[in-house]
């Protein structure tokens, strides 16, 4: 046994996460919940999740793997005891080495310490983990959080170690948990970058800019959703409060009546695809999740509505660093607690205001990266999992026509580069990085006003439903720019556009 005298104050550790039996993500979440509920361990950051082929023992199901950074003051023996208890609580039983498992938690790093602990049979610990350098399913999640951390004994950064491995079939995934409405429901796993996913819009409002009044009763909403899924929609987005310029005020009670009952009816009617609730109110989101939704779509990125929206007054606003918050963190806490995917959209308040980006020299891409990055950092610090965050650049919200065009044409630049410092570090990070690298994206251009202006015909300037051809052009560009999810109204026709574009740029020929 070779254990250094570790300091009594809290330190940072990196843990590997894996499961290949049952609801794999739920197993991982259950183990993490046990750690935080039954010890002083606190989660500092999380990676994305990846589906990976098994290594060493090949005849077993695929794994879902990830990693997290935690803080603790526990000594190594108590730490490994707690981790093994967490695995047992999730149902892990003794089995063959490297074989199938309900959940697997491995300590990878304990700050920059190196030690061996083997005093208790079955509860030994070697730090750093001796096989980090050969496992892409470990290195890739670590690179999401700490690419420039230098391995204490190998003296190479995580990014350098990852670059030395040959490419494998590891694939980033997005998991929609089993919804709460039906005990027989199962989770839905999307393999990102394998195709462009289609989000169908279902607005149960009388004044949405395109389909307002079309789906104000449950029967029409059910038919619309069923038709959309049969036409190729992968997810249905339901909203009860229009955010278009000049839209009517909607009370909380009215928004609740327009959303949760509709979602419950869709689930009762057999809709199995994910459902997202399009709202900025935590009370509406929670009722929707209770009714069967399993994703949150928030145009204000978990900050609550700004002044002049939904009755918000200046006195309701508080500052969290650089972020203006009007709901006392209620939506942020809800997203962290429910652990469902959450779409963070870039906006600056009412859609037709606050279009001055002179602070960024007029560089709209830099502005969106910076302002979304701050909100991503806030979400991660509050416990929202990295693997649950989807980014939306907010086309048409506080953007000029030129801004919208740039964000479509150069969309891939939003998440394809790192912005944090690149100097190698000898310490594990104690806070999430502000980087949008590799986050999945959703974009909604469908039938928006700027497309009508670009098309230049009087009809397209006036009538949203006449903009589907214009939408097709924007959608095609976004597929070429590697957008992950596209939000559309006319699913039947846009499905063909997206599938052909996928065939051209993603080489998907199914």
* pLDDT score of 185: 77
Closest by CA position to 418, among listed 448, 402, 442, 438: 438
DSSP state of 489: S
The H or E element containing residue 421 is none
Q: Tens-digit pLDDT profile for the chain (510 aa)?
A: 455 566 678 999 999 999 999 999 999 999 999 999 999 999 999 999 999 999 999 999 999 999 999 999 999 999 999 999 999 999 998 888 888 999 999 999 999 999 999 877 778 899 999 999 999 999 999 999 999 999 999 999 999 999 999 877 799 999 999 987 666 678 999 999 999 999 999 988 764 444 444 556 788 888 889 999 999 999 999 999 877 666 678 889 999 999 999 999 999 989 999 999 999 999 999 999 999 999 999 999 999 998 878 777 878 899 998 899 999 999 999 999 999 999 999 999 888 888 999 999 999 999 999 999 999 999 999 999 999 999 999 999 999 999 999 999 999 999 986 555 567 899 999 999 889 999 999 999 999 999 999 999 888 888 898 999 999 999 999 999 999 999 999 999 999 999 999 999 988 765
- Give CA separation, 483 vs 127, 175, 372, 454, 502, in Å: 39, 17, 16, 21, 11
3-state helix, strand, coil in the chain (%, to 5): 35, 20, 45
The H or E element containing residue 484 is none
Token representation of residue 94 = 């003794």
pTM of the model: 0.95
Closest by CA position to 495, among listed 480, 477, 475: 475
The H or E element containing residue 375 is helix 364-381
* pLDDT score of 210: 45
């Amino acid at each position: 046994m070779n254990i250094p005298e570790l300091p009594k104050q809290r330190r940072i550790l990196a843990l590997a996460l894996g499961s290949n039996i049952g609801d794999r993500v739920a197993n991982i979440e259950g183990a993490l919940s046990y750690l935080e509920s039954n010890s002083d361990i606190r989660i500092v950051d999380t990676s994305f999740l990846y589906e990976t082929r098994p290594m060493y023992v090949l005849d077993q199901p695929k794994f879902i793997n990830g990693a997290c950074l935690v803080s603790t003051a526990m000594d190594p023996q108590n730490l490994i005891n707690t981790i093994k208890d967490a695995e047992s609580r999730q149902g892990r039983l003794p089995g063959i080495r490297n074989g199938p498992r309900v959940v697997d938690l491995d300590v990878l790093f304990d700050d920059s310490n190196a030690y061996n602990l083997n005093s208790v049979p079955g509860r030994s610990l070697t730090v750093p983990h001796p096989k980090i350098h050969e496992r892409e399913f470990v290195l890739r999640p670590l690179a999401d959080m700490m690419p420039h951390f230098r391995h204490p004994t190998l003296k190479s950064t995580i990014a350098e170690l990852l670059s030395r491995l040959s490419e494998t079939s590891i694939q980033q995934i997005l998991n929609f948990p089993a919804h709460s409405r039906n005990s027989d429901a199962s989770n839905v796993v999307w393999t990102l970058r394998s195709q462009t996913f289609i989000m169908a819009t279902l607005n149960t409002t009388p004044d949405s800019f395109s389909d307002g009044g079309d789906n104000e009763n449950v029967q029409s909403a059910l038919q619309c959703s069923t038709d959309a899924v049969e036409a190729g929609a992968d997810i249905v987005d339901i909203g009860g409060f229009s955010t278009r310029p000049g839209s009517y005020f909607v009370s909380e009670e009215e928004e609740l009546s327009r959303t949760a009952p509709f979602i419950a009816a869709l689930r009762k009617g057999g809709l199995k695809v994910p459902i997202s609730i399009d709202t900025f109110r935590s009370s509406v989101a929670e009722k929707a999740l209770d009714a069967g939704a399993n994703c949150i779509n928030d145009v204000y990125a978990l900050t609550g509505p700004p002044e002049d929206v939904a009755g918000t007054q200046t006195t309701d606003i508080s500052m969290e660093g650089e972020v203006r918050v009007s709901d006392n963190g209620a939506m942020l806490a809800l997203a962290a607690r429910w652990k469902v995917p959450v779409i963070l959209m870039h906006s600056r308040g009412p859609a037709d205001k606050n279009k001055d980006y002179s602070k960024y020299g007029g560089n709209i891409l830099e502005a969106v990266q910076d302002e979304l990055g701050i909100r991503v950092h806030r979400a991660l610090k509050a416990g929202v999992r990295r693997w649950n965050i989807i980014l939306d650049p907010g086309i048409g919200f506080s953007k000029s026509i030129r801004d919208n065009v740039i964000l479509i044409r150069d969309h891939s630049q939003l998440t394809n580069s790192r912005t944090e410092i690149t100097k190698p570090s000898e310490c594990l990070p104690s806070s999430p990085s502000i980087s949008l690298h590799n986050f999945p994206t959703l974009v909604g251009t469908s039938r928006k006003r700027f497309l009508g202006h670009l098309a230049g015909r009087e009809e397209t300037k006036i009538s949203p439903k006449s903009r589907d051809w214009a939408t097709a052009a924007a959608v095609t560009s976004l597929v070429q720019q590697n957008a992950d999810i596209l939000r559309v109204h006319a699913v039947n026709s846009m499905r063909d556009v997206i599938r052909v574009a996928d065939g051209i740029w993603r080489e998907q020929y199914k």
